[in-house]
Structure 1
Amino acid sequence: MKQLLAFLFGCFAFLSVNAQIEPVKWTTEVEKISDTEYNLIYKAAIEDHWHLYSQTLPEGGAIPTEFIYDEKALENDFELVGKATESKSITKFDKVFQMDLTYFDNEATFIQKIKLKNAEVTSIEAEISFQACDDAKCIFESEIVNFQLTKKQTPKFFDPVKWSTSVKQLNDTDYQIQYTAKLDPKWHIYSQDNSDPMGPIATEFTFKDNDNNDYQILGPLQESETVTKYENAFKMDVTYFEDKAVFTQKIKVLNPSITKIEAEVYYQACDDEKCLAPTTFEFATNLDGSETLIETLNIDPEDLEKSKALNLGVTGWDNYKKEEVKEKTNFGIFILGFIGGLIALLTPCVFPMIPLTVSFFTKSAENTQKGLANAIIYGVFILIIYVLLSLPFHFLDSLNPEILNTISTNVWLNIIFFLILAFFAFSFFGYYEITLPSSWGNKMDETSSRVGGIIGVFFMALTLAIVSFSCTGPILGSLLAGSLTSDGGAMQLTAGMSGFGLALALPFTLFAMFPKWLNSLPKSGGWLNTVKVVLGFLELGMAFKFLSNADLVKHWGLLKREVFIGIWIIIGIGLVLYLLGKIKFPHDSPIKKLSFSRISFAVLVGAFVIYLIPGLTNTKYANLKLLSGFPPPLPYSIYEKDSECPLGLNCYKDIDEGIAAAKEANKPIMLDFTGWACVNCRKMEEQVWSQDKIYEILKEEYIIVSLYVDDRKKLPENEQFKFVKANGNLKNIKTIGDKWATLQTLNFQNNSQPYYVLLNENMELLNHTTAYTPNADEYLEWLKTGLENFKK
């Protein structure tokens, strides 16, 4: 189990990132060796208590640092000479990943030698992909850097703001630093005092690298004269600077050895017609008054324009109470975990342990009361052990706004879950057994006998968890996969594990309290193996759900809706034949007579198979409402459809096309933030949208714009760009899903799906936003209200 947890921990660390945490700062240098050879030097400054990993690590652990270059450039412009060398590192055993890992503390240097193929090349772009961890969490991030191979400066993109800095010494320890922005005509930047989140980006200064208290900030940052006016773009009064902005900060130097003060400014520039994407300048002000260094992000002007275009400028927020998207309740998954635990009780690894263990406690104790107490403690420890298994995943809860969607739609993670569940399924069929090393169980058993008392009872509970793993592991694996790909993350996993552990613990406690009940337990036998095989069929069916997720987001076309349903029908028929004794597996006992329970369950499964059959057709009966969200959506079909939109409705999958259509038709817009692998999106479409009144209003009155945030289809090269994030970092927008997920987060500060927004052509809200609304009447009223507000 440790290996499984370490493996999954690595998968999620691979995907985890917190936009507010930047423990690694990268700088680059170029060293010219000859006319055609250069060293590209990457330097990482690492914060205290954090470490950055080496390029070479064993599989199944942390993510190694990697330097990625454009394939076309490698083919035509330059070649890598050997692998990048790296500075001195540390290799230690990592308790989380259960292996030796190599990493760097404080700083790291990587040097990649290259040889030019094209003499005209003056710059090389690279992407740094890296993972950094401290004792509580990990982040996985990427950063794009540019190496200039000559001293010749590349042309600057359009920048209406020119920054300069100066310093004035007031006395032996006090200095006054001045930051000046010279603005082009008709352009302005905004005051620090603009705090309304729906307004423009306020100018913000951050002073860096003062962990050692080398200097003290004296008072607030002062700013020069401003102008306050009403701006149509933001529908509010805003305060800004014209022509020139001056910011002044007094400091007291506490460490006489420091020579410069580093700071950065984050700001947005606008004129009367447009705004540029927010950007960052960095200053290093020399205290002796000598020339100072000013740095900026070198962003292509086209990227700036495309970044700006994602901001829809939605207005009208004050007219409606902002919809708070509630997280899914943990109680539901607690119940599912509890049911999973009850099922695990009926397996050959656990069921025989109940009478044996309870009898041991009641007979070996000095008195009945002590035996009962030990059994209760035993049950509590079982529950605690399974809850503890979920704790490592709480360290991965420092996530960026889109990470949960990324986890649930990550292609390779879904394929991994498919393989794990399929592997578990064939284990349940009896072709092999998944067992932890027997030495673990023997060691725990030895320890429980030697230690005795409460600690001994704990080790007995741990022994049960280990020796029963071959049966509980597959069920736990399903729980892990289902929980970690849902919106609740680690908390839902803990809830599921709690339910699972409670269900396992209850029999030991209850039978210890009422030992006569033991006589009523059925004897162990072949029926236990039947339960395992049935679970194997169910695991196999669930496995294809994860493969379907990967297929949907990549549009491979392997598991179209009818193919997926056909596979489930085959699995269902196989289960019926097994229950009727027509198929046998390695550990099955001979069936002399079919029991009532086997026949009844076979009839239920057969009825389910019959229910699935219309799903293979191209008729109105193909909408299997009871299974909404499990099979692929209706448009993802082997049949040629009139529309690729849900239920044959007309919709647009590009926001610009949708806005243009809304203007032409004079209709309101419904933005539908959805996903190919979104279960609740399918439930809304197939159970709510399919209602006659709702279907009619969507078809006749609204322009639907469906934006799939998990679509991994590549954008055309001329539409790919680098988006400037709020912290000044760059984010690659390479896929359709990248673009729409960023648009949703930027404009609505929300990353859940489904998520619905009603707008007019001027991007004014027509009603509050809403999310998953299974109540059809409530959803219909929401649509009608938006339509009435549009007509007003």
Structure 2
Amino acid sequence: MLKRILVCAGLLLALASQAQVLEPARLVSVPLDKKVKVGDIVELVFKADIDKTWYIYSVGFDADCGPIPMTITLDKGAGFELVDGVVAIHDKAKHDKIFDCDVRTFEGTGEFRQKVKILAPSVTIKGAYEGQVCSEVEGKCVLFDGDVSFTIQAEGKAIAMPSADDKKKEDPKQSVSAAAPPTNSTPTVIVPQPTVTIDTVHEVATNTQAAATNYAEIKGPTLDTALVQEDPARQSFLGFFILAFVAGLAALLTPCVFPMIPMTVSFFTQGRSKGQALLYGFFIIFIYTLIGAAIAPLMGPETANHLSTEWIPNLIFFIVFIVFGLSFLGLFEIALPGTLINKVDTQAEKGGFIGIFFMAFTLVLVSFSCTGPLVGSILVSSAGGEFLKPIVGMFAFSLAFAIPFTLFAFFPGWLNAMPKSGGWLNSVKVVLGFIEIALAFKFLSIADQAFHWRILDREINIAIWIVIVTLIGLYLMKAFRLPGDTGKDVEDKRVSVPRLTLAIIAFTFVVYLIPGMVGAPLKALAGYLPPAYTHDFDLAAATRSSKPNQICDEPKYSEFLHLPHNISGYFDYKQAIACARQQGKPLFIDFTGHGCTNCREMEATVWPDAQVLRKLKENFVVVALYVDDKTELPETEWYTSQYDQKVKKTIGKQNADLQIKNLNNNAQPFYVLVGLDERVLVSPYGYNKNPEEFAKFLEAGEKKFAELYKK
């Protein structure tokens, strides 16, 4: 007893000395969700939510040894009677060094159960709990308490309460003793489904019970079309054409497309005609338009995503870029056999058609990992049956996309027209070859992330780039020569001003890359590098990370999926919406992908904004849904999509199906704010790297959520 007094006194002093009220643990009652009959013995379930590094004391140990066990006290009622005492489910034994005694504890989450016999058709059970939560890391212990209640409706007539002759006179309170015997078994009685807990104890606990009761079924986010704020220009074919054309121009600046331009130059410097150059541009437009009008209705909008994330096509793209890079370095020449050239001369129409079509088709396939998000909405529209508008949009997109390739193909002399004396033209090819090899690793990285191979983590990719760019700088400074370097320029050791300028740029870029080896974010390259969570050697993490936000329970798939900037969240929609309901917060859905370049840019440039990051951590429950993850789920979780009638077996397929079916969109990044009833709160947000606009998007969602659920 003396120990107990000392513990309480110490706790009171600790609480009095702290200006901040700590609530590291909560306990809530879980509503029953099954039919009950009068006379049934049911279990009341109490769930505990405990902050990281903290633990609560359970039941079933000597209450006089010092720590305060959990006590749940239920008010005496006429409609029920207690059966046995409170039990803890799967708590852990621990030797308390401070009090030198054996105790039982919970970390993270905990569960207590109490059997009661139902004696009336309508029963209200109220009570309170008291416990102690401690942290060896914080060096603190805190007392916590709160109220619990159950409302039970049962079938049947009331049963008379036991008389005083049948049992001893009861105390005004039916107290569940802290010294009740522990058990780790789960009795086969009527047990409600587990739920996750919330951040606050009193007011939010009541809201939590209402949310769990009113929104028990999870169907997926529901988008009201009135929320989608479309540009008026989209309402006409001309406006839609212009927007799609601009999207095509933007696609040229992506890292998957720009490196293809020198490959085009190489292909069309081998005696191709201007007519073939025009045919090349036509095939680009034809293939994209065909995808929008024919492939999407047949195979669904996931086709582009499949091509951009499957390991086989990405490995092929990786090899193609390596081969072209080595060719530019002078290892070998890519040229058609002489017999085939002669055949092309005699059968120009047939041979040119096949070769040019293959070149155009390769460009379309390789560029999909970056162009897919831009054409995603058009693909969804085509799959939904709106045929003419997708054709117009895809035609406009591909027209803008094809123009520079056609011009380079039409005028390959633009490169050859440069002065040939001194061999500097070969130097241009060598530099392009190094760039081709460096960018080739992006395709290998996409497959590596989608399948979680972890063979090309962030620091390995950065190291490869440092070596390649250093070689570019040394080559420009004439530190070494390659087989294609001939003529007087090789003997002349002087470095021209343009070469020196380019070398300075290369070495400056190397200096910029070096801090990335120890965890620097390298925001300018966010779309080109693997995500920061793949970085194993991160010395900068401690200085840039902030305290993670609190979530309800351990996220599924967190062993291989991660959120940036020390944000704690989920990777499964059902788990996330359940936590949002328990915490009484809106849900922030991030439809993302391992191969999504724009997603990485948003995470690197927008999410770190102080206002944005604070809101994401404090005011939302965050879930990242990877649409291209290849992890196969257990067969029991497979289902056939109502959208395309295909079986969805992987995490990515199911997330993509959720986005397409419920939100009529398959572009990433795609950000959606959802309320407790799964209604989308405001118009979704896409790729826009303006932190202020993103913050306004979050604020609008918070305001709408407050109007709907916090009246």
Q: TM-score, normalised by structure 1?
A: 0.49
**Pair 1:550-2:453 in alignment:** no
Letter in 1 for 2:503: A
Map of 2:436 onto structure 1: 539
My pick for the range that moved more, 549-558 or 410-419, is 410-419
**Pair 1:421-2:321 in alignment:** yes
- 1:382 is aligned, of 264, 277, 288, to 277
Map of 1:747 onto structure 2: 662
Partner-residue secondary structure (3-state), 2:589: strand
Deviation at 1:775, TM superposition (A): 2.1
Map of 2:595 onto structure 1: 677
- Return closer, same or farther for 1:309/1:486 CA change in 2, 3 Å cut-off: farther
User: How far apart in 2 are the matches of 1:540 and 1:333?
Assistant: 21
Contact 1:348 1:528 in 2 (8 A): no
Letter in 1 for 2:301: P
Deviation at 1:639, TM superposition (A): 4.2
User: How far apart in 1 are the matches of 2:672 and 2:248?
Assistant: 27
Partner-residue secondary structure (3-state), 2:371: coil
Contact 1:406 1:710 in 2 (8 A): yes
Map of 1:765 onto structure 2: 680
Contact 1:623 1:634 in 2 (8 A): yes
**Pair 1:701-2:619 in alignment:** yes
User: How far apart in 1 are the matches of 2:628 and 2:261?
Assistant: 35
User: How far apart in 2 are the matches of 1:751 and 1:677?
Assistant: 14
- 2:301 is aligned, of 392, 401, 414, to 401
Alignment of 1:604-753 (within 5 A): 604-618=505-519, 622-639=520-537, 644-719=562-637, 721-726=638-643, 729=645, 731-753=646-668
User: How far apart in 2 are the matches of 1:615 and 1:714?
Assistant: 33
User: How far apart in 1 are the matches of 2:404 and 2:472?
Assistant: 27
User: How far apart in 2 are the matches of 1:779 and 1:790?
Assistant: 17
User: How far apart in 2 are the matches of 1:404 and 1:544?
Assistant: 20
- Return closer, same or farther for 1:424/1:546 CA change in 2, 3 Å cut-off: same
Superposed CA deviations along residues 208-241 of structure 1, whole A, max 9, x for unmatched, are xxxxxxxxxxxxxxxxxxxxxxxxxxxxxxxxxx
- Return closer, same or farther for 1:438/1:422 CA change in 2, 3 Å cut-off: same
Contact 1:386 1:497 in 2 (8 A): yes
Deviation at 1:610, TM superposition (A): 1.0
**Pair 1:311-2:196 in alignment:** no
- Return closer, same or farther for 1:526/1:321 CA change in 2, 3 Å cut-off: closer
Map of 2:695 onto structure 1: 780
Superposed CA deviations along residues 720-740 of structure 1, whole A, max 9, x for unmatched, are x2324346x3x2222111221
User: How far apart in 2 are the matches of 1:316 and 1:757?
Assistant: 12
Letter in 2 for 1:777: E
User: How far apart in 1 are the matches of 2:530 and 2:328?
Assistant: 27
User: How far apart in 1 are the matches of 2:316 and 2:258?
Assistant: 25
Superposed CA deviations along residues 519-558 of structure 1, whole A, max 9, x for unmatched, are x952355212211111110110111000000000001111
Alignment of 1:49-60 (within 5 A): none
- Return closer, same or farther for 1:503/1:316 CA change in 2, 3 Å cut-off: closer
- Return closer, same or farther for 1:385/1:318 CA change in 2, 3 Å cut-off: closer
User: How far apart in 2 are the matches of 1:574 and 1:748?
Assistant: 48
Deviation at 1:699, TM superposition (A): 1.4
**Pair 1:528-2:425 in alignment:** yes
Deviation at 1:663, TM superposition (A): 2.4
- 2:332 is aligned, of 403, 427, 432, to 432
Tell me which protein shows more strand as a share of its residues: 1
User: How far apart in 2 are the matches of 1:348 and 1:417?
Assistant: 17
User: How far apart in 1 are the matches of 2:280 and 2:577?
Assistant: 54
User: How far apart in 1 are the matches of 2:314 and 2:260?
Assistant: 24
Deviation at 1:785, TM superposition (A): 0.9
Deviation at 1:402, TM superposition (A): 1.8
Contact 1:347 1:529 in 2 (8 A): no
Partner-residue secondary structure (3-state), 1:707: strand
Deviation at 1:679, TM superposition (A): 0.8
User: How far apart in 2 are the matches of 1:480 and 1:401?
Assistant: 15
User: How far apart in 1 are the matches of 2:639 and 2:579?
Assistant: 28
Contact 1:674 1:708 in 2 (8 A): yes
- Return closer, same or farther for 1:347/1:555 CA change in 2, 3 Å cut-off: closer
User: How far apart in 2 are the matches of 1:725 and 1:481?
Assistant: 30
**Pair 1:756-2:654 in alignment:** no
Contact 1:335 1:496 in 2 (8 A): no
Deviation at 1:384, TM superposition (A): 3.5
Contact 1:310 1:743 in 2 (8 A): no
Letter in 1 for 2:531: P
Map of 1:245 onto structure 2: none
Alignment of 1:35-74 (within 5 A): none
Letter in 2 for 1:627: L
Structure showing greater relative contact order (alpha-carbon pairs closer than 8 Å, 6 or more residues apart): 2
Alignment of 1:310-329 (within 5 A): 311-312=219-220, 314=222, 318=226, 321=229, 329=247
Deviation at 1:668, TM superposition (A): 1.1
User: How far apart in 1 are the matches of 2:624 and 2:264?
Assistant: 45
- Return closer, same or farther for 1:502/1:779 CA change in 2, 3 Å cut-off: same
Letter in 2 for 1:684: M
Superposed CA deviations along residues 305-330 of structure 1, whole A, max 9, x for unmatched, are xxx97732626554664799976711
Partner-residue secondary structure (3-state), 1:647: coil
Letter in 1 for 2:525: L
Letter in 2 for 1:384: L
Superposed CA deviations along residues 263-294 of structure 1, whole A, max 9, x for unmatched, are xxxxxxxxxxxxxxxxxxxxxxxxxxxxxxxx
Tell me which protein shows more helix as a share of its residues: 2
Deviation at 1:334, TM superposition (A): 5.6
- 1:486 is aligned, of 360, 363, 371, to 371
Contact 1:341 1:502 in 2 (8 A): no
User: How far apart in 1 are the matches of 2:532 and 2:507?
Assistant: 24
User: How far apart in 2 are the matches of 1:614 and 1:785?
Assistant: 37
Identity, % of aligned positions: 32
Map of 1:514 onto structure 2: none
Alignment of 1:246-285 (within 5 A): none
What is the root-mean-square deviation of aligned Cα atoms in Å?
3.9
Alignment of 1:578-597 (within 5 A): 578-589=475-486, 590-592=490-492, 593-597=494-498
Letter in 2 for 1:522: P
- Return closer, same or farther for 1:585/1:527 CA change in 2, 3 Å cut-off: same
- Return closer, same or farther for 1:549/1:382 CA change in 2, 3 Å cut-off: same
User: How far apart in 1 are the matches of 2:420 and 2:264?
Assistant: 13
Structure 2 gaps of 5+ residues are 1-215, 235-239, 376-393, 549-561
- 1:503 is aligned, of 405, 408, 412, to 408
Partner-residue secondary structure (3-state), 1:551: helix
Superposed CA deviations along residues 5-35 of structure 1, whole A, max 9, x for unmatched, are xxxxxxxxxxxxxxxxxxxxxxxxxxxxxxx
Q: TM-score, normalised by structure 2?
A: 0.54
Deviation at 1:566, TM superposition (A): 1.2
Deviation at 1:786, TM superposition (A): 0.7
My pick for the range that moved more, 670-679 or 656-665, is 656-665
Contact 2:513 2:522 in 1 (8 A): yes
User: How far apart in 1 are the matches of 2:463 and 2:583?
Assistant: 41
Contact 1:424 1:539 in 2 (8 A): yes
Contact 2:451 2:631 in 1 (8 A): yes
User: How far apart in 1 are the matches of 2:568 and 2:480?
Assistant: 47
Number of aligned pairs?
Answer: 432
Map of 1:221 onto structure 2: none
